[in-house]
Structure 1
Amino acid sequence: MRAMGRGALRVLRGGALPLGAALLLAGCASMPSGGEVRKVDNGQQADDNPRVLVYGIPPHPGESAAEIVSGFLEATTSGEPDFATAKKYLTRALEQRWDPKARITVLSSSPQSDGGTDFAPKATGVVIGVSGSKTAQVDAKHAYSPNGGAFHTSVHLVKQGNEWRIDRLDDGLILSASDFQRIYHSVNMYYFAQLGPDGQRSGSRQQTLVADPVYLRKQQTDSLADTVSALLGGPTTWLAPAVASAAPSGVRLYSKGTGQGVLVDDSQRLKVRLDKKADRLGHDQCMRLAAQLFATVQGQASAKLASAEVQRADGATICSLPSSQALTPTDMVGSTSKRYFIGSEQHQLYELAGQDTAASPVQGPFGSAKADLVSVAVRRDGEMAAGVRSDGHLVVGSFTDGDSFRASQLTSSAQNPKNGLSAPSWDGFDDLWVADRSPAISRLYVLPGGTGAPALVDVPGLEGRVESLRVASDGVRIVLVVDEGGNKTLQLGLIQRGGTLDQPQFSVKNLRDLTPAGESVSSVSWAGPSQLVMQGSDIGGGGQQIHYVSTDGSVAAALESIGEAVSVAASEDPTRPLQVASSNGYIYWLPDDSNWKRVTPKGGSPVYPG
């Protein structure tokens, strides 16, 4: 076996991408135990390096069949959007039907060739095997999915004239992980949450955006058009059951116009021109589509958009959404910027604001010296909380002096409170989620409004016991830490809502395993519209690591091992700092472009609202 490649790629450095950003990679940091500790990258920052354009080399006369396959694979890693050079390695017939966008197979390293079958000097056909170790796959809707295992495919070549050319080949691309990272980047599409009756109760029906990360090519002159086309194509298969798009079925960009139908003018007004399938688009539906377009493009643009305008094929305006009416991915996160934790001495709830390092007890029963809390969740408006006390009981109360705890209707069947109710979590519609960790039977519950009658949540496909959970503000995604025979995995599920306003029904489906390979997860938190931050350790113990993990399963490089950390907390608003609880009894938080700061008094269980 040999690695494919002739080292014949040409590299040219150019200007910065208009919408480009590097694959999310985290920096390194460690908890302060003496000396200076610098801020870590959260994995979502744009790459500031100049754009690197890579051009493939066309086939040379007289090249062998193996060299043709090698040259073809190299040419597919170029920056050419139409794969013009790569197609020169194909027969004329295959050039017309080969679809490079059908899928991407990502290998851990460069693909290997078996050198081809034995054939006589005058043979007119040959088969060359290509193999490698697969790490992921990207489908035709640009959705990334971790997918390990052995990979093998065959490439058939024939003589076209006196030269070898490929005449049979699977659709799609085969890329090494390093080439994939260089060529593609993650971009969030935005769709509306399907909230069912619960959405009517919240008054936010069809007004909550959910991020759907996909991988698009960086090195494109028409990146805006690629981004909008991906949005119009609809959500990824995994997210589709929980969201909806306002784009008419089958609608496409009007590609004959300027910018392939997408333009941002000098006044930062986004203009999207659609084909004839949008000609009957009504105003309300158009405004929802404009909201999706605004959020999706704004997430990739360097300047703030002023508006999003949707046009018919003839260029007439259907609707225009000003920035003042636009929806943002953090609308449901909550307005409070405070951070919270449970104090070590009296087990009461403390709060921090701004650059503070000295915390104060909150008002109301949660700040009382008799709070006796072991876990807590602050409602997203910062005016109410729910917590589990040391006796295992779930309580709810406000941050108002003179108020008292109200006991929840939910109790655990566990004899030992340590095996009872998990730390609760609020979605953006004031519903409270909590797991009963009873060894007898593990169950997931929702308390509508935080104090309503507990509704049992159906979780088909769940194996093991839910140890902890965090629900997204959008109310349609939930992440679970699940104990499967001593190994704790990270599972992401879709929340589906049904029933009636008086008798809501909930289920969590399409569980997706996001656990980094070889790790056991101990703590997780939402850290952005499509990103989680998790703390884990090597299976069997030791080797603690903190990862930023995308909801599609792609994992950024681990931060340097933080041996002192016992839990981690972040916000869906990525402008808010990371928090870590240390085994030395202190909370640390990480200001932007600064060092870790230690908080007093001692405590644990750091949280943001949610």
Structure 2
Amino acid sequence: MGFVVLALTLAGCASIPDKGDVEPVKASPQDESQVRVYAVPPPANASAGDIVDGFLEAMTSDDPDFSMARKYLAKDEARDWQPQKVTTVLSEAPDLEGPAKPPAPDQPGLTYQMHGVKIATIDAGHVYRPLKPAGYEQSLHLIQEQVAGHKEWRIDALPQGLVLGASDFQRNYRPVDTYFYAKADGWLVSDPVFIRQRIDPLTRMDPITQAVNTVLSGPTGWLKPSVKSSFPAGTRLQKGTRTLQFDDNNALTVPLNDAAAKAGPDACRMMAAQLFFTLRDLTSTRVSQIALRAGGSSLCSVTGDQAQAYAPGNASGRADDAFYLDSDGRLARLRPDDKKGSDKDNLVVGPLGDGSVKLDSVAIARDEKRAAGVGPDSRSLYVASIVDEAELGSPLVTSEGKKASDRLSAPSWDSRGDVWVADRDPDHARLLQFKNGTSTSEQAQVEGLDGRRIEAVRVSSDGVRIALLLTKGNRTSLEIGRVEQSGSAPHQKLAVVDLKSLTPQMETVTAVSWAGPSRLVIVGKEAGGVQQVRFIQADGSTSDASVLPGLNQVTAITAGDTDSKALVADSGDAGVVQLPTGGNWQAIVEHGSSPVYPG
């Protein structure tokens, strides 16, 4: 029984020791991402406990087709076991209890119970699903069967799929944003999945090839109704392709089957752009070009500059600066090179900056030409130019809620130039979209609220997904829904469907902002814990590295569409603070509040 663990470090030279004992390791430390696990076959005359331990350890390896893991299984189970069916993620490697003898003398074998805390699953389509922590218990049954002329213990009944502790999961898998086109628009939408960190044991594909293959397989089931792929039906990698490598210029040529040749030049460039954005984060250097081939012939190619025409989320706005409200509720620009954010020089042009209305919250259009503001006392929503002088027009909507907390939420802009806001009036709760920031509105039907109130609204840069903070009792959860529009005026239907929880493990979430195409930054706490700021993927996955430096009394947070933008937060008495990349929180505006980037 046992397996071999090799830890390879990136700093300095690494060597494999040629002396000393090989020791079994139950779970790999989370900070050792370069740990490699090599499974070994069961030794002769192994005890039942050694067989169970060895099998659980072998599941954490990169062994081709899990052939070593199958050696711990009885013949029928070795043939029928489907490790790809589902991956169950536990908070730690499973604990074992047993062996238990059969309840009747005529029933052979032994049973071991696996125990743990289940926190997530990944299905056969590479989709991650976070779960509220719950007890996990499954049994492994062993019998003795003939192996090489001897009776040996083997597992003849077990759950399908893999069972991994969180640290082994993070060592074996990595998140990847695959990309597909919004059906209603011409820009790309991220669709997060998980692939193997190294060679996939079942397909024998390296990570680059896995990512390409996942795009060719199409979007995940949750996102599929709202997106489409530019690849012709039946497009696959050229048969036998298991490795794809960038050349010295960091360009990649992808060989496809004959079905890909059906695409015209424009569609082909869209295909290449899908792969460009999918692969850009999988390499340590910048991707220069993606080229496609089929049947030995070149189809098309796109460079990085050409791919920007299809950039995710219609990133038309520069989003260079964050904005905030000063102590008088006036809208001001927070310039990166100017920490004197309270100076009048930073106030925006127009009625939202000149004090015509005192704002409680604000959102900036992605082109940075208009802003939507809520105030005073969260009662009314206004939209006005921030580049031209103008009179403040009539409010787009006014809430009848009896107190400020029961009135309008902070607004949010989508990429089409529409403004979203929630009216939290208990007697007339609704989610509204104002077309192009005008008084023409649609009320969105939100499926699956189950008596919960919408507390906050944040639309993704692509406009396809919407993050909602939903409150019921003392708990506020973060859920993400898919935005669907059907029909045409005056019979257009707007809906938010298929809500899914991103934070089932947290007791409450108090603030949220999108932080790129498929990542959010949240403020919240786990049961019995303290407030924390952390990044979370749009599928709900996190890592220990996503937890950010501590900050107290955070009531609002905002992030830009790229990692180069500093996080900005409202931290109670400290005012507006920012977190530069690689730095610590810094106070920048003592009497400011409600910081926002465009969106």
Could you tell me the TM-score, scaled by structure 2's length? 0.87
Cα gap change, 1:333/1:400 in structure 2, threshold over 3 Å: closer, same or farther? closer
Cα gap change, 1:236/1:286 in structure 2, threshold over 3 Å: closer, same or farther? same
- Give aligned pairs, total: 560
Residue 244 of structure 1 is matched in structure 2 by 228
For residue 94 of structure 1, report the CA deviation from its aligned partner: 3.7
- Which of 113, 117, 125 is the equivalent residue of 1:141? 125
In 2, the alpha carbon distance for the partners of 1:350 and 1:210 equals 31
Residue 509 of structure 2 is matched in structure 1 by 521
In 1, the alpha carbon distance for the partners of 2:388 and 2:230 equals 45
Cα gap change, 1:246/1:526 in structure 2, threshold over 3 Å: closer, same or farther? same
Contact 2:313 2:415 in 1 (8 A): no
For residue 566 of structure 1, report the CA deviation from its aligned partner: 2.4
For residue 151 of structure 1, report the CA deviation from its aligned partner: 2.3
Residue 44 of structure 1 is matched in structure 2 by none
Query: What is the letter of the counterpart of residue 245 of structure 2?
Result: L
Contact 1:457 1:507 in 2 (8 A): yes
Residue 369 of structure 1 is matched in structure 2 by 355
Cα gap change, 1:248/1:86 in structure 2, threshold over 3 Å: closer, same or farther? farther
In 2, the alpha carbon distance for the partners of 1:241 and 1:152 equals 35
For residue 48 of structure 1, report the CA deviation from its aligned partner: 9.7
Aligned-residue Cα RMSD (Å) equals 2.6
Classify the secondary structure of the residue corresponding to 2:595: strand
- Which of 325, 328, 336 is the equivalent residue of 2:306? 325
Give the 5 Å matches for 1:210-225.
Answer: 210-220=189-199, 222-225=206-209
Structure 1: give runs of 5+ residues left out of the alignment: 1-5, 18-46, 196-204
- Which of 407, 428, 444 is the equivalent residue of 2:431? 444
Residue 24 of structure 2 is matched in structure 1 by none
Classify the secondary structure of the residue corresponding to 1:78: coil
Residue 26 of structure 1 is matched in structure 2 by none
For residues 341-370 of structure 1, give each alpha carbon's deviation from its aligned partner in whole angstroms, at most 9, with x where no partner exists. 0001x2101112223211211111111033
Query: What is the letter of the counterpart of residue 87 of structure 2?
Result: I
Cα gap change, 1:51/1:403 in structure 2, threshold over 3 Å: closer, same or farther? same
Query: What is the letter of the counterpart of residue 514 of structure 2?
Result: W
For residue 606 of structure 1, report the CA deviation from its aligned partner: 0.6
For residues 222-273 of structure 1, give each alpha carbon's deviation from its aligned partner in whole angstroms, at most 9, with x where no partner exists. 111111112222222222222222234443322425xx26332222222111
For residue 388 of structure 1, report the CA deviation from its aligned partner: 1.1
Cα gap change, 1:156/1:413 in structure 2, threshold over 3 Å: closer, same or farther? same
Cα gap change, 1:166/1:252 in structure 2, threshold over 3 Å: closer, same or farther? farther
Classify the secondary structure of the residue corresponding to 1:584: helix
For residues 307-326 of structure 1, give each alpha carbon's deviation from its aligned partner in whole angstroms, at most 9, with x where no partner exists. 212222x2222222222221
Residue 562 of structure 1 is matched in structure 2 by 551
Contact 1:298 1:304 in 2 (8 A): yes
In 2, the alpha carbon distance for the partners of 1:377 and 1:453 equals 18
Contact 2:74 2:155 in 1 (8 A): yes
For residue 474 of structure 1, report the CA deviation from its aligned partner: 0.3
For residues 206-226 of structure 1, give each alpha carbon's deviation from its aligned partner in whole angstroms, at most 9, with x where no partner exists. x22111211211133711111
In 2, the alpha carbon distance for the partners of 1:247 and 1:451 equals 37
For residues 550-570 of structure 1, give each alpha carbon's deviation from its aligned partner in whole angstroms, at most 9, with x where no partner exists. 211123444454223222111
For residue 283 of structure 1, report the CA deviation from its aligned partner: 3.4
Give the 5 Å matches for 1:180-579.
Answer: 180-195=169-184, 205=185, 207-220=186-199, 222-257=206-241, 260=242, 262-312=244-294, 314-326=295-307, 327-329=310-312, 331-332=314-315, 334-344=317-327, 346-359=328-341, 360-390=346-376, 392-462=379-449, 463-500=451-488, 504-537=492-525, 543-557=530-544, 558-559=547-548, 561-579=550-568
Percent identity at matched positions?
38
Classify the secondary structure of the residue corresponding to 1:289: helix
Contact 1:580 1:587 in 2 (8 A): yes
1:584 aligns with 2:578: no
Q: Does 422-431 or 411-420 show the bigger shift?
A: 411-420
Q: Does 67-76 or 83-92 show the bigger shift?
A: 83-92
Classify the secondary structure of the residue corresponding to 2:248: coil
For residue 516 of structure 1, report the CA deviation from its aligned partner: 5.0
Cα gap change, 1:309/1:518 in structure 2, threshold over 3 Å: closer, same or farther? closer
Contact 1:76 1:83 in 2 (8 A): yes
Query: What is the letter of the counterpart of residue 161 of structure 2?
Result: G
Classify the secondary structure of the residue corresponding to 2:515: strand
Cα gap change, 1:250/1:153 in structure 2, threshold over 3 Å: closer, same or farther? farther
- Which of 62, 66, 77 is the equivalent residue of 2:60? 77
In 2, the alpha carbon distance for the partners of 1:498 and 1:519 equals 35
Q: Does 226-235 or 123-132 show the bigger shift?
A: 123-132
1:153 aligns with 2:138: yes
In 1, the alpha carbon distance for the partners of 2:584 and 2:108 equals 66
Contact 2:7 2:32 in 1 (8 A): no
Query: What is the letter of the counterpart of residue 290 of structure 1?
Result: A
In 2, the alpha carbon distance for the partners of 1:291 and 1:48 equals 33
Residue 65 of structure 1 is matched in structure 2 by 48
Cα gap change, 1:500/1:408 in structure 2, threshold over 3 Å: closer, same or farther? farther
For residue 16 of structure 1, report the CA deviation from its aligned partner: 5.9
Could you tell me the TM-score, scaled by structure 1's length? 0.86
Classify the secondary structure of the residue corresponding to 1:481: strand
Q: Does 229-238 or 521-530 show the bigger shift?
A: 229-238
Classify the secondary structure of the residue corresponding to 2:168: helix
Cα gap change, 1:457/1:50 in structure 2, threshold over 3 Å: closer, same or farther? closer
